[in-house]
Amino acid sequence: MAQPLLVDPYAAHAATGIRPGTIRVWLHRGHLTHHGHDKAGRTLVDLHELQARLTPQAA
């Protein structure tokens, strides 16, 4: 498994197009893993986990 690529919701938005508010809701609902906060206090998520959530599952 790949190392987590931890980014804040704004960087995740730039990479995926998913709005930061949506990412926060998914964190709150347990759909994404919370990886702490950066030095500025921003929430960190794993970009790979977020991208995997966007990939349609193969049947």
| Alpha carbon distances (Å) from 31 to 19, 34, 50 | 15, 10, 9
**Within a domain: 1:** no
Task: Look at the chain and report how many structural domains it folds into.
Answer: 1
**Within a domain: 59:** no
**pLDDT over 90 for what percent of the chain?**
81
**Within a domain: 41:** yes
Q: Which two tokens stand for residue 21?
A: 């508010």
**Within a domain: 33:** yes
**Within a domain: 28:** yes
Pair 8, 42: CB distance under 8 Å: yes
Q: Please compute the mean of the pLDDT values over residues 3-8 and round it to a whole number.
A: 94
Residue pLDDT, tens place only, 35-56? 999 999 999 999 999 999 987 7
List the domain range (segments joined by +) for residue 49.
Answer: 6-54
pTM of the model: 0.83
pLDDT of 58 over the 90 cut = no
Q: Which two tokens stand for residue 17?
A: 């197009």
